[in-house]
Structure 1
């Protein structure tokens, strides 16, 4: 059977595969479009499985929000080049929309959700792996809902995403606080948010340091109290100087607006993933050989 350009074009539109891959699939299936689609899907799964063991520490954090709810999704790939690809970003944005619609924080469940035209997110991920030639993974997602309040959403450079929920205040304030969290990454909202064991460990460290000074017990106690207060200001959102106005703390800013932080989430691309040292030239040669 003659493989026409229009048939190749239709297969490309339905699968997103490359032109040569589509032509080859049609040749191998004697021009049967449905069989060619199945062939490409199987090929995509095989390529996805082959690349699944490779480190994917680049990628993007995408946000979505509506009706008092918001979501962050981190999707990883191997290189910054692919992280900026329109196909990758289109996939990532659609996955964020689906995460918001389903309300799930379970990556496996998100993979099983419908992407479009009866296909799952996982099926589209496999197709994207085949098309872009890199390991692509849905790593994690975080949800936030605030009844009667506002959610600030902020994405920095596509690599850091933050959600901040406020009771009181407005969207502009919430976004400013989210921007602050992106910049300074406070691990806790306030002193009440700091786990007791973390607080106790810091007290013991400060006590040991103060006792080495040889000063009287009452002076040592004051030293410990002062240093602990300073440490808490450094590790809590409300204690830090506001990134856009260092003359006031975030806590004072919130108080002046009659607002309170009720939720905070920050995701950064690749955090916690051990990156492999790689030879860029060797990678290029490997991809050129189609491996």
Structure 2
């Protein structure tokens, strides 16, 4: 008979972010004492961390930070969303994001080599976290933006904590207006970006492979129409223009009114405030996008862990 319950396993994972079987083993060794199990998990060393490195890490957090006219977004992945609720992991993402902002580079390896508050490097702290928390964790990507004057505005959708969440957005507004004037407006643009998922700032920035794929789809549809070749060509061109308009940020219809393009909304805001405003860049990081995730049944895992 196990000396702990399903609820104990869940509590231990929430406290440490540990993997399912690691949590069960720690509780077995601690005779069901959760605090002793926490200590046992934290005492695990580097070899444990290295064993985790091949596991899929598609959960975690996106961190955003802004200072003056610069901003950065950093995605740090873990295996499960339990870790995103763990104070140790949240503190790491927050500190790593601050280090990335100071570094001013989008190079992940450069960030890992940067100094970490309290000693060591960001990479060493990451390795230590893997060992003590018990799950694979990776710094996946970094993107920074800056303006010469104006404001960089950050927004986190469904924030897990200040500056941390599953969707992080940065908006770069080049302007002669004050930061106090720009930030509320920038938040609206950032919410649009979070909602509408633009693929590029403008049509010229859309990925060539994506356009080629859309063109092939449009050509197939046009061919099925049976219309003359010259008409088909116009149909294809029209489809590509529509795709570009709907997926480039500046030409998207602003989500808050669905009447004007984002570009027109920005221009009007500048005019209404007797200043100049230009949206020059943006970042939208959504946690785990592009990572193939393995689906699992959490309830079944817990039952198996406790019963097995």
For normalisation by structure 2, the TM-score amounts to 0.72
Moved more, 236-245 or 220-229: 220-229
TM-superposed deviation, 1:162: 1.2
Correspondence 1:15-164 to 2 at 5 A: 20=36, 43-157=44-158, 158-164=165-171
Q: Which has the larger radius of gyration?
A: 1
TM-superposed deviation, 1:191: 2.1
Alignment CA distance shift 1:211-1:70 (3 Å): same
Structure 2 regions of 5+ residues with no counterpart? 1-33, 159-164, 271-276
Identify the match of residue 194 of structure 1 among 206, 210, 216. 206
Paired residues of 1:152 and 1:176 also in contact (CA < 8 A)? no
Q: Distance in 2 between matches of 1:288 and 1:161?
A: 37
Alignment CA distance shift 1:209-1:276 (3 Å): closer
Q: Is 1:210–2:222 an aligned residue pair?
A: yes
Identify the match of residue 253 of structure 2 among 241, 244, 247. 241
Alignment CA distance shift 1:21-1:107 (3 Å): farther
Moved more, 190-199 or 166-175: 190-199
RMSD (Å), alpha carbons: 3.0
Q: Distance in 2 between matches of 1:98 and 1:173?
A: 27
Which residue pairs with 1:13 in the alignment?
A: none
Which residue pairs with 2:241 in the alignment?
A: 229
Alignment CA distance shift 1:123-1:197 (3 Å): closer
Which residue pairs with 1:184 in the alignment?
A: 196
Paired residues of 2:95 and 2:116 also in contact (CA < 8 A)? yes
Paired residues of 2:106 and 2:142 also in contact (CA < 8 A)? yes
TM-superposed deviation, 1:62: 0.6
Which residue pairs with 1:276 in the alignment?
A: 294
TM-superposed deviation, 1:217: 6.2
TM-superposed deviation, 1:75: 1.0
Which residue pairs with 1:256 in the alignment?
A: 268
Per-residue CA deviations over 1:55-108 (Å, capped at 9, x if unaligned) read 211100011111211111111112112211122111110111111111222222
Moved more, 68-77 or 141-150: 141-150
TM-superposed deviation, 1:248: 2.1
TM-superposed deviation, 1:109: 2.0
Q: Distance in 1 between matches of 2:75 and 2:305?
A: 25
Q: Distance in 1 between matches of 2:250 and 2:39?
A: 60
Per-residue CA deviations over 1:8-65 (Å, capped at 9, x if unaligned) read xxxxxxxxxx9758988xxxxxxxxxxxxxx95xx43122112112221110001111
TM-superposed deviation, 1:186: 0.9
Alignment CA distance shift 1:244-1:50 (3 Å): same
Per-residue CA deviations over 1:221-280 (Å, capped at 9, x if unaligned) read 654454343222211112222121112221220221243221121111111211123342
Q: Distance in 1 between matches of 2:291 and 2:213?
A: 27
For normalisation by structure 1, the TM-score amounts to 0.76
Per-residue CA deviations over 1:97-131 (Å, capped at 9, x if unaligned) read 11111122222221222212322222222332233
Q: Distance in 1 between matches of 2:303 and 2:123?
A: 29
